[in-house]
């Protein structure tokens, strides 16, 4: 789980509750122990509306140490890059949450526009981060190995998320696939 000191984009992908966030956090913790530095946890999430999701968010919060500052970046993570110096590392959790937020923000968005907005803005964010000397570890949901959603919105989310994941994997320097808590480096 070592991250070299060079600036890079790492994609950590897996199913829901596969252990992908814990693996990505472990990468960051190992990096911080060996090199130190400035770390941020970027989340596009809003305050959860139900008890189950609040509990899940709290578990994630409790795992993160005080030296990893949280940035609630909403749907525009790039606007927060100016506050980071070269050598910083961002843990972005998660791409699926970004897509959900975009769908909620603009409920009638077309599939093409949603794909362009999600993939385009995230790739721009990663490219700008790397130009500034900031590495990004992004967590993404694998949606191709689950049931087909029953709702139209659910199927749109699955199609767009699958397509965005393909774009991000092509852009990434490294890709890890997490199954049942076991990481496999696939790129």
Q: Which of 158, 121, 126, 153 is nearest to 142 (CA)?
A: 158
- What are 7-21's pLDDT values in tens digits? 999 999 999 899 999
pLDDT of residue 37: 81
Question: Residue 2: is its pLDDT beyond 80?
Answer: no
**Whole-prediction pTM value?**
0.91
Spans of all domains in the chain: 9-185
Mean pLDDT of 38-45: 89
Task: Find the angle CA(37)-CA(40)-CA(41) to the nearest 5 degrees.
Answer: 145
pLDDT of residue 93: 93
pLDDT confidence band for 58 (50 / 70 / 90)? confident
- What are 70-125's pLDDT values in tens digits? 888 889 999 999 889 999 999 999 999 999 999 999 999 999 999 999 999 999 99
Domain 9-185 CATH superfamily = P-loop containing nucleotide triphosphate hydrolases (3.40.50.300)
């Amino acid at each position: 789980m070592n991250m070299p000191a060079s600036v890079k984009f790492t994609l950590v992908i897996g199913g829901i509750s596969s252990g992908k966030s814990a693996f990505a956090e472990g990468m960051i913790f190992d990096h911080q122990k060996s090199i130190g530095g400035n770390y941020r946890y970027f989340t596009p999430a809003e305050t959860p509306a139900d008890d189950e999701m609040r509990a899940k968010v709290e578990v994630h919060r409790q795992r993160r140490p005080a030296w990893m500052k949280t940035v609630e970046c909403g749907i525009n993570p790039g606007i927060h890059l100016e506050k980071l110096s070269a050598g910083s590392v961002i843990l972005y959790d998660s791409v699926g949450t970004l897509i959900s937020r975009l769908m909620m923000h603009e409920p009638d968005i077309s599939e093409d526009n949603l794909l362009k907005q999600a993939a385009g803005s995230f790739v721009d964010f990663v490219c700008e981060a790397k130009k500034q000397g900031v590495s990004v570890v992004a967590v993404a949901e694998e949606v191709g190995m689950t049931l087909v959603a029953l709702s139209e919105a659910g199927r749109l989310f699955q199609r767009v998320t699958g397509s965005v994941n393909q774009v991000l994997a092509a852009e990434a320097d490294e890709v890890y696939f997490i199954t049942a808590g076991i990481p496999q480096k696939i790129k």
